[in-house]
Amino acid sequence: MAEQKLRLHDTLSGDLRPLALERPGEVRVYCCGPTTYDDAHVGHARAALAPDVLVRYLRWRGLHVTYVRNITDVDDKILARAKQSGEEPTTLSARMAERYQADIGALGCSAPDVEPKVSEHIADIVALVERLVANGAGYVVDLGGGVRDVYFAVRAFPGYGKLSKRKLEDLRVGARIEANDKKRDPLDFALWKGCAETEWGWPSPWGKGRPGWHIECSAMSARYLGHGFEVHAGGMDLVFPHHENEIAQCEAAHPGEGDFVRTWIHNGFVNVDKEKMAKSLGNFVTIRDVYQRYDPEALRYFLLTVHYRGPIAFETDKREDGRVVFEGVAEAERRIDYLYAVLERLGELAATASEPGAKAKELDAYAKVFAGASERLAAALEDDLNTPAALAVVAELAKTGNELCDVAQKRKKDARLVAAAGALARTGKAALRGALDVLGLCHSDASAYTVRSQARRLAALGVAAADIDRKVDERLAARGAKDFTRADALRAELGALGIEVADSPTGSTWRVGVV
């Protein structure tokens, strides 16, 4: 069995352990995707991001990854929401699925290789339920009128509770025992939920119905990844009961075939005022809400500043003028601005390089930083996907890159040094670019990013670019006439609007700061 340098914190064993592959060079990853009845919030973004970083790292290391992230488009919540809006459940879930894909795609998460939908895998689900019934792990309950439910018998699976470290007795205490309970044991959960002929459902050996909540992931992961795949990801709230039940279903269906999954990774929550962001608490901020105010790249950077297993605080602040500020994301966007600026600066310096092999001893320190970055980045990510440490590597590269540019500028009359700096800038840019790629950051063209972010910020401020241009021109004229009092007054005026003006030998430029 091939062992990787990458170590992940596995929920089942509770340990940090090296990633073990069944087949050399191949990694299978499954991530529990959304139930598509509403727009995704920042918590969903985080849950999609953790496996994305994993997949990017693995591919960077040359491994072949099969990444599956499902869409649960059949669910009672979808049905309930559709009834409210008068929409067909399938139409609603399809629409929400598209919005999810757009939101997560904009976050810079690469699309999964397979994105299976429950509605397209009913046959797989039915077959799995049949198998469980045949194994004695599932049982059918006749509700009369041709309606039947199928339940999983928790007692039939001895390992039940091993993932969430729960004992059956402990669970029993909190279990809600309904009157008229159809289940043999209160802890048993539905594999198939029968429904009336007129309701939303699919035909099955037990009559019309819909799959239970957990069975879809068991069926679809088995379909695309088989039994015993490498990594299964999801939010910490899925540990129990969702993933516990997935294990029960898959291992009961494949007795003697070993563990369903080799490594379980679970991401921590996004908190608002120290509480978990959740639909039920009503304290959620949708990804779209964030994108309205900030660049998707900023949200990604923000989420990467904290290790995926820990909690991350999402602070919302409403300003006097009514603008909503997400401070952490705003700070992240300033970093994204900075990183794009460094990439551009290095690019400009590299473009002056006429001698690709030029070297200067006084630049050795910079060269060393660039050369070692990739190794440091790998070490950070190999330590249970330590993205904050990875971002420190990015920061080091960016700072060094800027320093190199500063040196080249200060000593621009030294042709030998400038030639060497130009050549080294190419290396530096490649190193930074490479690190950013692994983290999925700054994937836009720098000028495209600038255009879109400036436009969004201007819109947020309610200021027209033409008005700014006019004032900047006016100020330039004042400066030309050495009327600095007037020029400074204009700068202050622009500053009050949130516009930063920068003077250079070739004229004046302006930008809108992150607000």
Partner RNA sequence: GGUGAGGUAGCCAAGCGGUUAGGCAAUGGUUUGCAAAACCAUCAUACGCGGGUUCGAAUCCCGUCCUCACCUCCA
Cis peptide, bond prior to residue 241, ω within 30 of zero: yes
CA-to-CA separations, 123 to 49, 127, 254, 499, in angstroms, rounded: 30, 6, 18, 59
DSSP state of 184: S
From CA 49, how far away is CA 65, in angstroms rounded? 16
- The residue behind tokens 């009514």 is 322
3-state secondary structure (DSSP) of residue 47: helix
Give me the least distance between CB of 23 and RNA, in Å please: 28
3-state secondary structure (DSSP) of residue 117: strand
CA-to-CA separations, 281 to 43, 96, 275, in angstroms, rounded: 13, 21, 9
From CA 370, how far away is CA 364, in angstroms rounded? 10
- How many Cα neighbours within 13 Å face the side chain of 258? 9
For residue 235 the two structure tokens come to 């939010």
Q: Which neighbouring-strand residues pair with 114?
A: 68
CA-to-CA separations, 360 to 404, 409, 412, in angstroms, rounded: 12, 15, 14
* H or E element that contains 138: strand 138-144
Cα-Cα-Cα-Cα torsion 157, 163, 165, 166, nearest 10 degrees, comes to -40
CA-to-CA separations, 339 to 344, 348, 401, in angstroms, rounded: 9, 14, 10
Give me the least distance between CB of 133 and RNA, in Å please: 21
From CA 484, how far away is CA 330, in angstroms rounded? 33
- The residue behind tokens 């309205």 is 292
Return the closest-CA partner of residue 436 out of 401, 403, 395. Answer: 395
Q: What is the secondary structure of 321-379 as a DSSP string?
A: TS-EE-HHHHHHHHHHHHHHHHHHHHHHHHHT-S-TT---GGGHHHHHHHHHHHHHHHH
